[in-house]
Amino acid sequence: MRLEPRTDTPLALRLLAPVGAVVAALALCALLVAWTGAPVLRAYGLLFEGAVGSRFALTETLTRATPLILTGLAAAVAFRAKLWNIGAEGQLYMGALAAVVVGGGMLDLAAWALIPVVMIAGMAAGGVTLLGPAMLKVRFGVDEVVTTLLLNFVVLLLVSLLLEGALKDPMGMGWPQSAPVAEAAELPKLVARTRLHAGLAIALGLSVLLWLIDTRTIWGYENRAVGANPRAAAFAGMPVTRVMLRTALLSGGLAGLAGAAEVCGLKGYLTLDLSPGFGYSGIVVAMLAQLHPIGVVGAALFIAGIFVGADAMSRAMPVPNYIADVLVATSLLCMLVAGLLARYRLRRG
Amino acid sequence: MKGGPEVVLRLAGISKRFGPLLANDDISLTLRAGEVLALLGENGAGKTTLMNILFGHYVADEGTIEAFGRPLPPGSPRAALEAGIGMVHQHFTLADNLSVLDNIAVGTESLWRWRSDRGAARRRLLDLSQRFGLEVRPDAPVGELSVGERQRAEILKALYRDARILILDEPTAVLTPQESAGLFETLRKLTADGLAVVFISHKMNEVFAASDTVAVLRAGKLVATHATASTDRAKLAELMVGRSVKPPAPAPLSPGEPVLELAGVTVASGHGRPLLDRVDLTVHRHQVVGIAGVSGNGQTALAELVSGLIRPDSGRLSLKGSVVEHGDPADMVRRGVARIPEDRHSAGLVGAMAVWENLIAERYHDSSFSRFGVLRRGAARAYAREVIEEFDVRCPGPDARTQLLSGGNMQKLILGRTLAHGPDLILASQPTRGLDIGAVSYVHSRLLDARAAGAGVLLISEDLDEILALADCVTVAYHGRLTPLLPHDRVSVSQLGLLMAGHWDVLRDILPETQLEHGDAA
């Protein structure tokens, strides 16, 4: 038996690859679950139920998926242009920071005006954060993996500094948290008496919009060409540098929007635990989705379901909820292998 | 050739299939000690596949290989090396930052030895080098060597590992005529020593210059094996292509007004010698100007300049009489320059995108292909279908992924993209490199049609036959300088070879009336 490269990967196989990867990841993690002494099938059953088994579970999963869709889109957009943005976590916090600053009462506007302003401010803050590394990359060839990754820590320390100082909530009983955003800046709830907010609608709308931009517009056309072969794109006369910087603004902006939406939709104020690594999980989401904007939605729902479900499961069984992190990480590894295998065919002899 | 010297290599019934493509179909060959076998065939005929099977990179679906009477286990380059088979690839496999000696000795010594015995390695290398006339500098870093020297180092590397059968994949593609002659001289010394050589080629003149036997492959089949002396060019060409081929015949045309003028153009390289050094060049309408030269003598910079990728550091570039101040690729396209890039895979096309997307890559801003930033995909596909039809691009349709096309069809795609708009100047860099004879004659006729229609053509090629067949005037690039334009009928291949090697004193014989600039002759 030998592996031979395929000339073309059929669509069915491209859809099957993530499914296969997830099944493989579940099978591998079953070993860990079994190790804790819990019955594997029942544990996975509880996990599934905890993710989608009730109205509450479902809305929790959708709430958790909202920032993941946005950071997933941020990663997908950037990776498609071969801009390796590992800094979505930092960009998310910059967006959240902008949201509490702009939405914290300095503008006295009605909700219909304030919400867009706050969201745009969050996007701008995230976008500008990635613009720096992108400029260093196109100008001096500085590796953006390093700069964007390290900027995450810079941003977190900046947020920490502000939460202990200038932005500290005077009514916060000494906790390092910001003052809450104005009521007019809060995103409306989608379902009453749940935490599900309008951020999900924004995220879904953006994923469709990005797909349309990608396939129907000159912008998307240039992005794809520059991502697939920058040399040929430059030869044909496309503005490669501009495309790179534009992509950086968009990618950072999406991550910043995730932060702003979390603040205005869910938490109401900024703390240092706003994001349990949404920026990094976004990379997994994008990879599982094979960088497709619509696929990002499915992948984000899957990962959100794992996290929410694992929390529920760990309450009923002696399996710690860290299994969710292991499952997500294993899925990513399996996806990378599946992506590779999908490009080959097995031949006898 | 009954009896005769020992048979060193025997391929029997080799077949290899890649999906629907039968790359090798029941091929049987024998090679004797002291023999040079030329494996002749167009691209895609299966030459390289066959040699990769022999060297263990691929496993044949059927058939066996015997080296020196013993069966060769399939799929193992190590077994091939141990059996005494050495391969010199088309793209060299040397590490630029290591010396020649280190490159040659690397991999031949055990990792567990305390110290490498460099003295012995050096003695052995120098001995081989002397015996076969393969002159190299053992301590020079490979990065500083000329292409010819690198090739000699590659051959020495194979000999150092006791190769008795040497496979050369298109060895002359990168050499000047004189260097090629030197290589053939080496091959004669090797075969006199009892080695056997297989060299892969699609150039006829090399086959006659160097081989004893010629095997012709076409579409995966071995169509003929002849003693080289008993055959001729026309016959081999017909065997290769499967039909008779006519050489291009440019109609005599008198040149029109100038379309491209370079005046004193210099392009600095950032270190040392400039890439282009005070170049003057004029291309007129109805004229093909050929740039000959060994690669790396400024042709790439010249192509990038006319493509709009770089700008001159000093001097002036004018198109149709107006000076181009800040040229960029899009500007050059707007000014009527059709650009055929040297490397169609990496610079010409985006392989992962569809055919139609590549066809509009230079003019997607036109209102016929987009409006308010939205692509008019229907119009673009319809346009693509027209170009595919007109330029005979063989592909499933406008939505096919470009990387699935063959090299010849990719080139037709690029021709379609650039020539469909009646260009004033055509920049053709290596327009037929790697193409088969059928595609080559197609490209040539398209270029000549454009010349007849009033375009000027700047043809940069390493293939002297191509330049002499197409060009009205020739100039030779050497160290970033260009010779004055030489009428194609007043210059011979050997004179061009000397000019390519920097012996510009022969210009006195070709153009007795011109004054050589001081410092030009090397």
Q: Which residue of A has its CA nearest to B352?
A: A228
Helix H or strand E segment including B194: none
CATH 1.10.3470 describes domain A39-317:
yes
Chain A contact set for B353 (CB, 8 A): 224-225, 228
On the 0-12 / 13-18 / 19+ scale of CB atoms within 10 A, B93 is exposed
Instruction: Please give the Cα distance from B99 to B300 (Å, whole number).
Output: 27
> What mean pLDDT is predicted for residues B348-369?
91
pLDDT at A116: 94
Neighbour order of strands in the sheet with B196-201: B85-88, B165-169, B196-201, B36-41, B213-218, B221-227
Residue B210 confidence class, pLDDT cut points 50, 70, 90: confident
Interstrand relation of B196-201 and B36-41 (parallel, antiparallel or unpaired): parallel
Contact (CB, 8 A) for B463 and B170: no
Chain B contact set for A217 (CB, 8 A): 373-375
Instruction: Say whether B156 sits in a helix, a strand or coil.
Output: helix
Residue B301 confidence class, pLDDT cut points 50, 70, 90: very high
CB contacts < 8 A (A, B): 72
Token pair, residue A28, equals: 């591998």
Instruction: Please give the Cα distance from A331 to A335 (Å, whole number).
Output: 6
pLDDT at B518: 44
* Contact (CB<8Å) B361/A238: yes
Chain A contact set for B308 (CB, 8 A): 237
Closest C-alpha to B457, from B282, B309, B243, B230? B282
B328 close contact with A: CB closer than 8 A: yes
Q: Which residue of A has its CA nearest to B378?
A: A216
Token pair, residue B125, equals: 């290398």
* Contact (CB<8Å) A224/B374: no
Q: Report the mean per-residue pLDDT for chain B.
A: 86
pLDDT at B255: 87
> What mean pLDDT is predicted for residues B354-365?
92
pLDDT score of B10 more than 50: yes
Range 167-186 of A in CB contact (< 8 A) with B = none
CA B221 to chain A, closest CA, distance in angstroms equals 22
For B357, the closest of A7, A216, A221 (CB atoms) is A221
Of residues B445 and B178, the one with the higher pLDDT is: B445
Instruction: Please give the Cα distance from A319 to B347 (Å, whole number).
Output: 54
Residue B515 confidence class, pLDDT cut points 50, 70, 90: low
Q: Which residue of B has its CA nearest to A345?
A: B19
* Contact (CB<8Å) A232/B330: no
* Contact (CB<8Å) B353/A237: no
Quick: pLDDT tens for B466-477: 898 899 999 999
On the 0-12 / 13-18 / 19+ scale of CB atoms within 10 A, B323 is exposed
Quick: pLDDT tens for A70-120: 999 999 999 999 999 999 999 999 999 999 999 987 888 888 889 999 999
A336 close contact with B: CB closer than 8 A: no
Instruction: Please give the Cα distance from B500 to B175 (Å, whole number).
Output: 10
Which amino acid, B59?
A: V
Interstrand relation of B473-478 and B287-292 (parallel, antiparallel or unpaired): parallel
Dihedral (CA of B521, B259, B268, B300) sign:
negative
Chain A contact set for B374 (CB, 8 A): 216-218
Chain A contact set for B61 (CB, 8 A): 349
pLDDT at A175: 81
To which residue do tokens 């947020």 refer? A159
pLDDT score of B279 more than 90: yes
Token pair, residue B148, equals: 């010819």
Range 204-243 of A in CB contact (< 8 A) with B = 216-219, 221, 224-225, 228-229, 231-238
Residue B162 confidence class, pLDDT cut points 50, 70, 90: confident
* Contact (CB<8Å) A233/B350: yes
**CA dihedral of residues A230, A233, A239, A245 (deg, nearest 10):** -30
A348 close contact with B: CB closer than 8 A: no
Mutate to test the interface with B, among A8, A226, A235, A290 (most CBs of B within 10 A): A235
Which amino acid, A183?
A: E
Give the range among A238-242, B23-27, B454-458 with minimum mean pLDDT.
B23-27
Q: What DSSP character marks residue A264?
A: I
For A235, the closest of B341, B364, B373 (CB atoms) is B341
pLDDT at A348: 59
Token pair, residue B301, equals: 């910079």
Q: Which residue of B has its CA nearest to A347?
A: B19
Instruction: Please give the Cα distance from A317 to A38 (Å, whole number).
Output: 7
HSE-CB at A55 with a 13 A cutoff on CA atoms is 6
B508 close contact with A: CB closer than 8 A: no
Instruction: Please give the Cα distance from A81 to B446 (Å, whole number).
Output: 36
Domain ranges within chain A, ordered by starting residue: 39-317
Listed in sequence order, the DSSP H helices in B245-376 are: 299-307, 329-334, 355-359
* Contact (CB<8Å) A7/B19: yes
For A237, the closest of B328, B341, B375 (CB atoms) is B328
* Contact (CB<8Å) B361/A232: yes
CA A68 to chain B, closest CA, distance in angstroms equals 28
To which residue do tokens 């440019």 refer? B250
* Contact (CB<8Å) A236/B362: yes
Closest C-alpha to A30, from A40, A22, A45, A17? A40
A4 close contact with B: CB closer than 8 A: yes
Chain B contact set for A225 (CB, 8 A): 350, 353, 357, 361
pLDDT at A155: 96
Instruction: Please give the Cα distance from A233 to A175 (Å, whole number).
Output: 52
User: Is the reported ipTM for this assembly greater than 0.90?
Assistant: no
pLDDT at B238: 82
Instruction: Please give the Cα distance from A215 to B198 (Å, whole number).
Output: 50
For A225, the closest of B350, B401, B404 (CB atoms) is B350
Closest C-alpha to A82, from A144, A17, A147? A144
> What mean pLDDT is predicted for residues B226-236?
85
- Residue-wise burial string across B259-283, b where 16 or more C-beta atoms lie within 10 A, e elsewhere: bbbbeebbbbeeeeebbbbbbebbb
B335 close contact with A: CB closer than 8 A: no
* Contact (CB<8Å) A229/B346: yes
pLDDT at B516: 54
Chain A contact set for B339 (CB, 8 A): 235
CA B427 to chain A, closest CA, distance in angstroms equals 13
Residue B2 CA: distances (Å) to CA of A82, A347, B5, B6, B30: 61, 41, 9, 10, 12
What are the average pLDDT values for consecutive 10-residue runs of chain A, which has 349 residues?
Answer: 66 84 91 87 91 92 97 96 94 96 85 92 97 94 94 96 86 82 89 91 97 93 93 93 95 97 93 92 92 94 93 87 88 87 70
pLDDT score of B436 more than 80: no
Contact (CB, 8 A) for A186 and A263: no
DSSP structure string for B283-309: EETTEEEEEE--TTSSHHHHHHHHHTS
pLDDT at B3: 56
Contact (CB, 8 A) for B472 and B250: yes
Quick: pLDDT tens for A111-134: 888 999 999 999 999 999 999 999
Length of chain A: 349
Closest C-alpha to A285, from A47, A60, A64? A64
pLDDT at B114: 61
**CA dihedral of residues A254, A257, A259, A263 (deg, nearest 10):** -160
B307 close contact with A: CB closer than 8 A: yes
Chain B contact set for A218 (CB, 8 A): 364-365, 370, 373-375
Chain B contact set for A216 (CB, 8 A): 374-375, 377
B21 close contact with A: CB closer than 8 A: no
Closest C-alpha to A179, from A162, A196, A197? A162
DSSP structure string for A265-328: IIISS--TTS-SSHHHHHHHHHHHTTT-HHHHHHHHHHHHHHHHHHHHHHHHSS--TTHHHHHH
Instruction: Say whether A69 sits in a helix, a strand or coil.
Output: helix
Q: What DSSP character marks residue B477?
A: E
Q: Which residue of B has its CA nearest to A349?
A: B61
For A229, the closest of B351, B370, B375 (CB atoms) is B351
Contact (CB, 8 A) for B41 and B47: yes
Closest C-alpha to A26, from A341, A305, A275, A281? A305
pLDDT at B522: 42
For B373, the closest of A7, A217, A236 (CB atoms) is A217
* Contact (CB<8Å) A229/B365: no
Dihedral (CA of A82, A86, A88, A93) sign:
negative
For B350, the closest of A4, A218, A229 (CB atoms) is A229
- Which residues are CB-contacts of B82 (< 8 A; sequence separation ≥ 6)? none
Neighbour order of strands in the sheet with B276-284: B276-284, B258-267, B314-319, B322-323
CA A108 to chain B, closest CA, distance in angstroms equals 36
To which residue do tokens 């990168």 refer? B174
Residue B45 confidence class, pLDDT cut points 50, 70, 90: confident
| CA angle in degrees (0–180, nearest 5) for B248-B249-B250 | 115
B353 close contact with A: CB closer than 8 A: yes
Q: What is the 3-state secondary structure (H, E, C) of B86-148?
A: EEECCCCCCCCCCEHHHHHHCCCCCCCCCCCCHHHHHHHHHHHHHHCCCCCCCCCEHHHCCHH
Instruction: Please give the Cα distance from B57 to B416 (Å, whole number).
Output: 36
CA B54 to chain A, closest CA, distance in angstroms equals 17
Q: What is the 3-state secondary structure (H, E, C) of A125-167?
A: HHHHHHHHHHHHHHHHCCCHHHHHHHHHHHHHHHHHHHHHCCC
Chain A contact set for B333 (CB, 8 A): 237
CATH numbers and ranges of domains, chain B? 7-241 (3.40.50.300), 250-336+422-522 (3.40.50.300), 348-417 (no CATH)
Closest C-alpha to B444, from B477, B476, B408, B483? B408
**B458 φ, ψ to 5°?**
-105, 110
For A231, the closest of B61, B339, B347 (CB atoms) is B347
